Chain A
Amino acid sequence: MSSTSVYPTPINAFKQSKRSVLSVIVDNEPGILARIVGLFSGRGYNIEALNVTVVDVKKNLSRITIETLGEEKVISQIIAQLEKLVPVHSATNLANLSESYEAEICLVKIEFENEEQDQKILNFADIYRSRTVQKRQNIVVYEISGTSERINKFLDDLDTIGGIKVELVRSGPIGLGI
């Protein structure tokens, strides 16, 4: 027996998958993150990245930013489902706004062995204007921010240097309509 489903939507959904960044304003209350994550897993949607923080202490609001994949029809359905959740004020696909700004932050710890590697690392760090957080004899920690794409490129470039050890953490994209 194949694993074909009676509901064709989720399978077709990834045919023309497009990356979308959704910005969701919610009441900051217990269980809200579980509601959102449960909605995605329960309905077979993808979460590529997720960011949650309180943004208005007085009104007790959090902003949740979700990077997801899906064709347009699926993204609209995700937004409609999100807006049905009681604590959700609004859900917006940043791509649908006339203007929006996106950024991500990344911390990279690099262990290197020799002068040549150090020079190459310094060079890339300079090109990408990353900030030195800490530098020891053979370890350097950078903070780089910008679009996810820019960070990807920086990491790809670092990858071309042989023999170094890289450990990193990324915030996932956050975004704002302007």
Chain B
Amino acid sequence: MNNDNEFTGADILLKALKDQEVDTIFGYPGGAVLPIYDAIFGQNFLKHVLVRQEAGAVHAAEGYARSSGKVGVLLVTSGPGVTNVVTGLTDALMDSIPIVCISGQVPSHLIGTDAFQECDTTGITRPCTKHNYLVKDVSKLSETIHEAFKIASSGRPGPVLIDIPKDVQFAKSKYISKKDISFREHRIKAGSKNVDKTFVEELVNHIKKSERPIFYVGGGCLNSGHQASQELIKLVKKTNIPITTTLHGLGCFPGEDKSSLGMLGMHGNYEANLAMNKCDLMINVGARFDDRVTGRLDAFSPDSIKFHIDIDQSSINKNVKVNFHTNTDITLTLKEINSFIDSNNIDFGDKNYSNWWGQINEWRKKECLHYEQEDEVIKPQHAISRLYELTKQKDTFVTTEVGQHQMWAAQYYKFSKPNRWITSGGLGTMGFGMPAAVGAQMANPDSLVIDIAGEASFLMNIQEIATAVQYKLPIKIFILNNEYMGMVRQWQELLHGSRYSESYVDALPDFKKLAESFNAVGVRAKNISELDDTINEMISIDRPVIADIWVDKKENCFPMIPSGAAHHEMLLSKYDKENPENQEKGKVLV
């Protein structure tokens, strides 16, 4: 039977992607996805980016999604193709990044026979996706893909995987377009559309009463969209309440604004953590009381009334009990708070919290991010500061790997807009930054994209430099090269008697020659006099650049809340006298 209205599974997939306005897909071919690759060959709306290892595809999709606000899409083959993306899916789940992963599967009749390149994909990825599917019937394919996109991007976003056996890619069926699908409400988990008026009223009343309020803003604000950030800025200006953001909240509020206390948490600012500890009113906007933020739970912000806005019901009262909460979208809720204040002519002008700001300014005098650029050896903090000064006029996107360089980037690079800061927070995936930069550059071809990296993390997905070269993506890899896994070394120094077990990275490649061998450009700064020129040269080259910045090998990242300590018991520098004893039990914590 030949019916013009019927299409192969592979064609249905492409039609659905077009319907979902997907224009970029990251992938790597293999036996079980060849029909889909054949369909990709014959079309021109979709740009396929060939990565060099599937881990690169998933991080690139994450970078694409984070920097564009759209769903990131990737395509991998069965077996090793899909097991290679497990880390990235987990990363996206932890950090609430909307991605859709299409994986090929062995033909239906071979499933369960230990066929070549077969693995239990839905079984393996079940705990690391928001949802996943094995499509056994081609007539269900259109609906499944549209639902997958809806689930990935609704409520608290996350990764969704669709496993498609090869025979289903060949089988034919009708295509059902996005507009003809009616989603079942209970499966989408979009959160409430109705703003909780009581919550809003309670919050405004508490703001009026409080002496020491603080906004604690997380990645949820980012996921709610740019408007959330606009509403937040309005509300902060109106109330003059200090604001601190989590690692993922950076950029939701301008980092250089005087109301900003900067990042809080394990390597957060002294004033931010102290203010969280001493506040009497905490307004949590899309953050999840992560252990990196709270420190020891029984000492976390003991005297505050806590309000929590989070679309994810399971984030409420999970780690920290709150007094008031709402599961409605942040944009809607903040909008309502602003209009409630306006329509009731509530003026915070005379309140100003001057004692509270006075106290905060005292804490600020500690200058917790102060460092001395003493001699010729480049301090890593200085490298980031200079990078910021020399790039802040541009609309720059920064990705990072994981470790000390990541925390220094969070501390010394200031973000004024959402979606410019792309980092692996929850999972802490080394090797994330460079493929994420590939994704961010695909989404923002005219912007400057920099991966702030450590040499150890960079080596974990080094193969993707070839991807950047092939697609002429002028990403900049800014390596703070200290020849150590710096954060591991720092913990060994603080908690394990400076026994640097396996944290020295011996036999490093020559990154300049490495860049050249990939047909990218390598630049290097060995000492302070070369730093600015190297950064400027890096920015000026319209090709992928690896900048090898030799930094102080023994520099540590401060402030720091040691594990097991409360969030106001911070180490300020290696010479600080008020350090709490590093407790024995800190060693078993992570």
Task: Select from chain A the residue with minimum beta-carbon distance to B316.
Answer: A80
Q: How far is the CB of B155 from chain A (nearest CB, A)?
A: 9
- Taking CB atoms and an 8 Å cut-off, the chain A residues in 83-124 that contact chain B are 83-90
A163 in contact (CB, < 8 A): no
Cα distance A80–B312 in the bound complex, in angstroms:
9
Interface status of A31 (Cβ within 8 A of chain B) = yes
Which residues of chain B (293-331) have a CB below 8 Å from chain A?
297, 312-314, 316-319, 321
Inter-chain CA distance A169–B590, complex, in Å, is: 44
* Contact status B123-A34, CB under 8 Å: yes
- B187-A86 in contact (CB<8A): yes
Q: B131 to chain A: which residues have CB within 8 Å?
A: 85-86
B127 touches A38 (CB 8 A): yes
Q: Are B314 and A77 in contact, CB atoms less than 8 angstroms apart?
A: yes
A6: Cβ under 8 A from any B Cβ: yes
Cβ contact within 8 Å between B587 and A1: yes
Residue in B186, B312, B589 whose beta carbon sits within 8 Å of that of A89 in the complex: B186
List chain A residues, Cβ under 8 A from B313.
Answer: 80, 83-84
B470 CB within 8 Å of chain A: no
Q: Please, how many residues of chain A have a CB less than 8 angstroms from a CB on the other chain?
A: 29
Asked whether, in the complex, the Cβ of B130 is within 8 Å of the Cβ of A86, the reply is yes
* CB contact between B127 and one of A3, A30, A42, A87 (< 8 Å): that residue: A42
A residues within 8 A CB of B563?
6
Is B179 an interface residue when CB atoms closer than 8 A count as contact? no
Given contact pairs A38-B126, A80-B313, A81-B314, A9 touches B319 in the complex (Cβ within 8 A):
yes
Q: Give the CA-CA distance A176 to B525 in the complex, in Å.
A: 70
- In the assembled complex, B197 has its CB within 8 A of some CB on chain A: no
- Which chain B residues lie closer than 8 Å to A89 at the CB level? 186
Which DSSP category, helix, strand, loop or mixed, fits chain A's interface? mixed
Q: Is the CB of B297 within 8 A of A8?
A: yes
Interface 1/0 per residue, B554-578 and A, CB below 8 Å:
0000000001000000000000000
> In B448-503, which residues have CB < 8 Å from any A CB?
none
B291 is an interface residue with CB less than 8 A from chain A = yes
The residue on B at minimum CB distance from A83 is: B313
Q: How far is the CB of B291 from chain A (nearest CB, A)?
A: 6
User: Could you list 21 A-B pairs, sorted by A, with CB under 8 Å?
Assistant: A1-B588, A2-B585, A6-B563, A6-B588, A6-B590, A7-B291, A8-B297, A27-B187, A30-B134, A31-B122, A31-B132, A42-B127, A73-B321, A76-B317, A80-B313, A80-B314, A81-B314, A85-B131, A88-B186, A89-B186, A90-B186
- A residues contacting B by CB (< 8 A) are 1-9, 27, 30-31, 34-35, 38, 42, 73, 76-77, 80-81, 83-90
17 further A-B pairs in the complex, CB-CB below 8 A; given A9-B318, A76-B317: A3-B588, A5-B588, A6-B588, A8-B297, A27-B187, A35-B126, A73-B321, A77-B317, A77-B318, A80-B313, A80-B314, A80-B316, A84-B313, A86-B130, A86-B131, A86-B187, A90-B186
4 closest Cβ pairs, A-B complex: A80-B314, A86-B131, A6-B589, A80-B313
